[in-house]
Amino acid sequence: MTGLTKTGAVGEPVPADTEASSFLDIRDLKVHFPTDDGVVKSVDGLSFQLEKGKTLGIVGESGSGKSVTSLAVMGLHTAGQYGKRRRAQLSGEIWLNGQELLSAEPEAVRRLRGREMSMIFQDPLSALHPYYKIGYQIVEAYRVHHDVDKKTARKRAIEMLDRVGIPQPDKRVDDYPHQFSGGMRQRAMIAMALVNNPELLIADEPTTALDVTVQAQILDLIRDLQKEFGSAVIIITHDLGVVAELADDIVVMYGGRCVERGSAEQIFDRPQHPYTWGLLGSMPRIDREATDRLIPVKGSPPSLINVPGGCAFHPRCPYADVPADNASRTVRPELREVGSGGTPANEGVAGGGGHFAACHLRQEDRERIYTEEIAPKL
Amino acid sequence: MPEKKADKATDAGVEKGTDAPADGTSDAGGTKATATIPGARMRKKPVAGTEPLLKVSGLTKHFPIRKGLMQRKVGAVQAVDGIDFEVLPGETLGVVGESGCGKSTMGRLITRLLEPTGGTVEFQGRDITHLSTGQMRPLRRDVQMIFQDPYSSLNPRHTVGTIVGAPFKLQNVRPEGGVKEEVQGILERVGLNPEHYNRYPHEFSGGQRQRIGIARALALQPKLIVADEPVSALDVSIQAQVVNLLDDLQQEFGLTYVIIAHDLSVVRHVSDRIAVMYLGKVVELADRTSLYQEPLHPYTKALMSAVPVPDTKRRQQRERILLKGDVPSPISPPPGCRFHTRCWKATQVCKTKEPPLLELKPGRRTACWHPENAPDQAPDDKA
Amino acid sequence: MFAYLIRRLMAAVVLLFVVSAITYAIFFVLPRLAGSTPDQLAAQYIGKSPDPKTIEAVKQNLGLDDPVYIQYWDFIRGIFAGREFNFGPDPSQCNAPCLGYSFRKHVEVWPEMLDRLPVTASLAIGAAVLWLISGVTTGVISALRPGSFFDRAAMGIALAGVSLPMFFTGTVALALFVYHWEIFPNEYTPLTENPVRWFQGLMLPWFSLAFLYSALYARLTRAGMLETMGEDYIRTARAKGLKEPVVITRHGLRSALTPIVTIFGMDFALLLGGAVITETVFSFNGVGSWAVQSINENDLPPILGVTLFAAFFIVICNLVVDFVYAAIDPRVRVS
């Protein structure tokens, strides 16, 4: 695993017509960071598809690789990285609208950034430049990709600020970020991200730094804007509640890999992976009668340098000893389709909306454990 | 907790022979003490009529804003502006609110890390509002605090042993068997390996660090622990471990908690009674069941409806109240009811007269002219 | 913004008065406290073989018998309105700004200083331009490629630059370029006289001085850039699709330069108050070398004058720094 793997080099056929493949198609993505202590395998073989007009939620805890994935799609691991020592090693394929991004020229990817795909970040205060006016920062984003004069761009900026619900946009356009409240800043960030009508919007923990009532506003706004613009949205969060609000499909990540993937209904109604159960059991629920005790996942998240062998979750899994032959500790479970005799995910229909889990437990055992032990306690 | 998992495993007839050793890993929440607690724990109702452990009345804290050459006082951040509540022994009072509502300041006031501008704080019937640092020292044994950020609240140059043992030194307490043994006992109790006595905070994960913070607070067996966002910096799966640990410790040592958090689900889970704060005021105070089942204050209702819920079916059906705008600045809070700028029920009276915190239903107080689920306090008022 | 500027300006004026009072006190009050009589004090201003008549004259001129506050008032008034010194062969009017009168050389301090200022200013300005350009550029390139050959080489040289004192670097440069290879002249020619000679004569001092400072600035810039380029807003800038040079200059450098501005203001002001060692090494007749000379000769008025003059520059430069800061960082203006 060194450097970029060119698509052509591994003989993977380039999809002939983009119609047949998904709008965003990520195949076996790996993002590794060499450090003095060893290689940090932040993402280690991740595949998923996303169609336009759909929302994908990527859920996981810190260090699960969810943010690293989004930065890989945006090409931000390599942008501005010179010198060999800091370079992240990426491999796999990222297809956006029929174009492979990992093997593309950095300049070509740069031209896509902000125009075809854009991103909003967790903390809008630190993500906006403190020295420039909100308006200027939006104008800048617009003019990189559109050959227009400042006046036109400014009009566009005001229009976007208005669209995301900032009152008196023609005045606030000349404010600095520190003059905005937290919710307003995130709205401005969204305005900036959407100024070029991108087809893919990645929101990395967009509401984590915000208050609950403001979070609700922002989630609402993202939902409305998606309907309006018809873009594909990836929402990255640790909060299962947030994905339940927004996502059509969900990818649950653990230790740099996808452990479960499916539609929101599948994940919440019939979760298959013990880690997903753990996440659900750990969350106090406001919508149900208070349970007396939470069901935490024991232990702590894995080191990404020495990812546990076999199933990365096995040291924390209460059912690690159920599968025969000590498989949990020795064999890395593949992502297999639930209930179809276990078609491996990569051979499944791209974006086919199946429900996949990477777990050694047999389907019957999983169903039984979930319905008998987990569900009653959630 | 692992015990529960063991129970579950036997219930389900799954063979799980090696579960017990797995529990011994350092970060597993379970310790032997939990074994003495019955699996289904009883939530103790605080006995009515008992002396409150902590009584707060009219508590106020204004931070002056100074400007100009002469540093004239030009205004004040009204962080906490006249709040009353009491905490009964053995109960958990949860305090929720959004940023700027003054909940953290309130925590620092009742532990007397800050001196109140006005009002009184009584601990076990004794007025501690204006005690000096020296006078507070003996009381520090009984009142402890747990902080949000397990990364910055532990001195990186001190070993875990020194950190957790510091209260003994400060209070000049010599436990039987020596400080080290005592500290190791506490470490074990909070689910840390006592062998890690000589390690430094950076060698621990976030969840383990929060356990160190808890161990430090627990060292002298205090009566009251004030926890400011004890789990908000932790990952979901770790959060649950710490919540359960706090729960167990309360059972075992009969602790009283004031838990301050912005996360309503967490607060509801841990608290017996809950105070909802908005811009320096308590707007509602009720037991957790009624607060969540039929909130009286519109803000409480909106706050709860805004919490995203991990259930896709609820996406369509639930009633959501979307509040307009952000929380106003505590420097110049709105006149009258502070919530009126964002409230959908606001009328004239809300803009001019501040609603008093009244007991509208038994044991449930709210400050609102037009409460939900209770008789309107100003029915004739027009918008 | 306006209120902020006015506030800083007022603070600067107050500061100047405080500095002048303290300086004055050091020269005129401390000796008295230490037990000097006005006669002894006056004798100090004359130098060798003071005779009672001159002592009396100096005493009269400086008003040493007056209470301290009147002396100070006369001194301050002299700065703004000028004062008279009846001393020596021709009684003279010391025009404003009158910083004093050297009784030994029979000259006024201010015109003398004004004569030397172009030398010091040429030296300081030229060197500052050089070290800013080279230091900041080196720092930026190093920060963008940390650990690269360029980075390590540049930081190695920078370490040497910071460690080597002026009297070493300057002397070596002088020995090589002036005496050995005879590339540069070893004298200062006024700009108005012959710009080319002016330039040639200043090359060596500029480079020696800039070497010292640019090393420091390269290290500072590198540290600042490394920090800034890791900021979230840099990631945002890239996510917008901005070209890397724009990201680096417009978004990165602007923030990284803020601390540099502060330090530059200080360094530059100190140099304007006299690049003491550099002027001495290259035998330039600037403000700094004049101060050294006066110290050697125990000629107090020029020393007092230079001290005040330097203090003035430091206060002014700090004021400019405050303004520049406010221009760079909008948050300063509002709060």
Mean pLDDT of C69-89: 80
- Please state, in angstroms and as integers, the Cα–Cα distance from residue A35 to each residue in A31, A89, A256, A300, B367, following that order: 13, 11, 17, 22, 57
Partners of C10 on chain B (C-beta within 8 Å) are 69
Which residues of chain C are within 8 Å of residue B70 when distances are taken between CB atoms?
none
Instruction: Confirm whether B189 is domain-assigned.
Output: yes
* Number of Cβ within a 10 Å radius of residue C176: 13
CB-based contact C232 A79, cutoff 8 Å: no
- Is B50 a domain residue? no
Residue B245 domain-assigned (yes or no): no
**pLDDT recorded at residue A110:** 94
The domain locations on chain C are 2-110, 112-334
> Higher model confidence: residue C77 or residue A252?
A252
Q: Which residues of B touch A369 (CB under 8 A)?
A: 12, 14
Per the domain annotation, does B68 fall within a domain? no
Tokens found for residue B349: 């009276």
- pLDDT the model gives residue A11: 36
Q: Are B240 and A295 in contact (CB < 8 Å)? A: yes
Cβ–Cβ below 8 Å for B68 and C7: yes
Dihedral in degrees, nearest 10, Cα atoms A87, A88, A89, A92: -130
- pLDDT for res A344: 60
- Taking the C-alpha atoms of residue B309 and residue B315, their distance in angstroms, rounded to an integer, is 8
Interface of C with A in 127-156 (CB under 8 A): 144-148, 151
Nearest residue in A to C251, CA atom: A129
pLDDT of residue A345: 55
Reported as a single tens digit per residue, the pLDDT across C148-206 is: 889 999 999 988 888 888 888 888 888 888 888 888 887 888 888 888 888 888 888 89
Interface partners of chain C (CB pairs < 8 Å, 3 or more) are A, B
Q: Give the range of the structural domain holding residue B173, as residue numbers without chain letter.
A: 152-221
**Residue C16: partners with Cβ closer than 8 Å, 6 or more residues away:** C311, C312, C315
Q: Can you tell me the distance from the alpha carbon of A92 to that of A105, in angstroms, rounded to the nearest whole number?
A: 16
pLDDT tens, position by position, C216-262: 999 999 999 999 998 999 999 999 999 999 999 999 999 998 889 98
Place of tokens 């199933």: A311
A76/C239 CB distance under 8 A: yes
Which residues make beta-bridge pairs with B278?
B281
Domain count of the fold of chain B = 1
Chain A residues in contact with C252 by the CB 8 A cut-off are: none
Cα distance from N-terminal residue to C-terminal residue, chain A = 41
ipTM here: 0.87
Asked if the Cβ–Cβ distance from B268 to A286 is below 8 Å, we say: yes
Short-list A197, A175, A11, CA closest to A93: A11
> Chain C partners of B69 at a C-beta cutoff of 8 Å?
7, 10-11
* Strands (DSSP E) found in chain B: 54-67, 72-87, 92-96, 118-123, 126-127, 143-146, 224-228, 256-261, 273-278, 281-287, 358-361, 364-366
CA distance A148 to A93: 34
Residue matched to tokens 């640990």: B245
Domain for residue B45, yes or no? no
User: What is the tens place of the pLDDT at every residue in A298-354?
Assistant: 888 888 888 898 999 999 999 999 888 888 999 999 888 887 655 565 544 444 568
pLDDT of C56 > 50? The answer is yes
Residue B26 lies in a domain: no
For residue A130, which residues of chain C lie inside 8 Å, CB to CB? Answer: 233, 255, 329-331
Q: What is the pLDDT of residue B226?
A: 95
CA-to-CA distance for B91 and B258, rounded, in angstroms?
8
The answer to whether the CB of B61 falls within 8 A of the CB of B124 is no
- Which pLDDT score, from 0 to 100, does residue C88 have? 57
Contact C11 B68 (CB under 8 A): no
- Read off the pLDDT of each residue in B152-158 and give the average, rounded to a whole number: 87
- Is A293–B262 a contact, with Cβ atoms under 8 angstroms apart? no
Residues A237, A205 contacting (CB under 8 angstroms): yes
Mutation to test the A interface, candidates C149, C240, C328, most A Cβ within 10 Å: C240
Cβ of A212 under 8 Å from any chain B Cβ? yes
CB contact under 8 A, C243 and A127: no
Return the sign of the alpha-carbon dihedral for residues A136, A142, A145, A148: negative
Q: Is residue B173 part of a domain?
A: yes
Q: Is B202 a domain residue?
A: yes
Residue among B311, B321, B329, B331 with most chain A CBs within 10 A, to mutate? B311
Give the closest-approach CA distance of C323 to chain B in angstroms.
17
Q: Is the pLDDT of residue A66 over 50?
A: yes
Q: Looking at domain C112-334, what is its CATH homologous superfamily?
A: MetI-like (1.10.3720.10)
